[in-house]
Structure 1
Amino acid sequence: MAYLANQTTRMADLPGAKYLPTKTNRRAKQIMSEVRKRLTALIKERAKAIQAGQNVEENFFHVLLNSELAEAHGIKNMNDLFGQVKLFYFAGYESTANFLVWVMILLGIHQDWQERARQEAFQVFGDRKPDYEGLSQLKVIPMILNEVLRLYPPVVELSRLVEEETKLGEYTIPADTLLMLPIVILHRDPEYWGDDANEFKPDRFAEGVLKATKGRPAFFPFGWGPRVCIGQNYSLLEAKLVLSNILRTFSFELSPTYTHAPYVVFTVQPQHGAPLILRKLK
């Protein structure tokens, strides 16, 4: 669906075009019907369990299904609920999954950093399953994750519509102006990151994001300010957990068939895939 949406942005927006029975429109309708069917089944199954008084995990999904809390969040009907579930599922899954793909690609290229991260994972966790306390002790792996997010942020730009005339420093921005924040450009700007801005150097984050950016808003893979992505901490925690498990189980390198071609669909993806050679550790 993201691919089809991306294709439509390259075409002229003719009034009523989305209602024409074109191949793209028919396929988009089919996909959305299937998505709605699956998520609706998931919603009904959880709602039924809650009504039956079954012991269910009280996660964010549970909050959305709780009628009083849902209404407090502006969810008044099934369409609102469906939209929220769809947003959290796809925005959370797609972005983190592709983020981890780029982590694997870059560590497949930079074997020295892969080994440093592996040693840290073994040192902190040994043979036990990663836990929250251990994940909070990691130093090298967060540096690597931040550097990957700098070079290949899942979302390359953010757009904001100015609803009323706004004074911003010396500029006056008229109402109904669409502003674009080019994340990927600022993340690679030599003015902020130096002449090696396009190079993979995780140690630039050795003392944290604030030191790396010198306090300037030059690193915002999850957005910035009061509208920062609600899933930022969860996504980073998930990435640390997954990477720690992979590093303690496999060593890996890029296949010779890999072709480097970052490509934007909904998120930044390797256009020709990311073939890896994995070797199980003894």
Structure 2
Amino acid sequence: MISLFSICLFFILLIAVRFLYSLWWIPFRVKNILQSQGLKGPAYKFIYGNTKDIIEMKKQARSSPMDLSSHDIFPRIQPHMYTWTKLYGQNFIIWDGARPQIVVSEPELVKEILINKEGKYGKVKLRGYLKKLLGEGIVVAEGEKWSKMRKLANHAFHGESLKDMVPSMIASADAMLETWRKFEGKEIDVCEQFRFLTSDVISRTAFGSSYLEGRKVFETLTKLCYIISRNAHKIRYFGIEKLIRWQNDVEANETEQLLHDSIMAIVKMREDEVKTGRADSFGTDFLGSLLKVHHDMDKKNRISTENCDHDYL
């Protein structure tokens, strides 16, 4: 008769084998295969890959003031890429935990990957915080879905469409300069001011007359990006995020929901205006373009409200 102890021991051994297989054997095998093809890179470190090295290199790069006489910011913002490109060449392998990532910076190869004529290069399936930001939008979509979204984006950012945005951009710049006049003779945080300018321009061009609500969307989006940035190199395995709710997880979920609710509130307002006859269209801004496709008479051309939401991201 099999004892309870034997069953428990069996499951513990099974988990240990799976753990070692996923976090040691597979990376070891992949590394050898890629090295045999000429791809080198920093050594894989058990469980964490190169994530701890990246975090430490970024800390060191930002621990001292930047040389203002130089415009070379690459070593400061991406010190790991800068260092490893010098060591291993334009193409090399790094490890996001136990997941290998091939870094390609050779122009001809980059061009081949981006053109992707034969569809050999699939897009990475997003996970964690980044999925909350990009969802199922154009960045991760493939095939017919991507083609539909790309066509819409091309129309929205065509030269003629961009010309229509110029008055909004001028209005934003004028508003910023008017604010600066109030600070004559005083110091201004130019970086922060240009962040506000970017927020205002995007809000006006994407949301049109609803730009004040759009600015709230932009601010919420900025907050979500900050959460993603500070968690970019954290490694979790075996669905641990489903068992333990970290403070960052809670904050990211709340921010994502707020972002979605804010956009959908503006969408509902536009739809109600058309239904009640207060407006004869959904608008000429980017949101209006998305809503027009969402309500297209031909179901094949439609995009979902989820796509409308994430196409801003």
TM-score, structure 1 normalization: 0.25
- Compare the two structures and name the one with the higher helix fraction: 2
Q: Which structure has the greater CA radius of gyration?
A: 2
TM-score, structure 2 normalization: 0.23
Which structure has more RCO (C-alpha within 8 Å, separation ≥ 6)?
A: 1
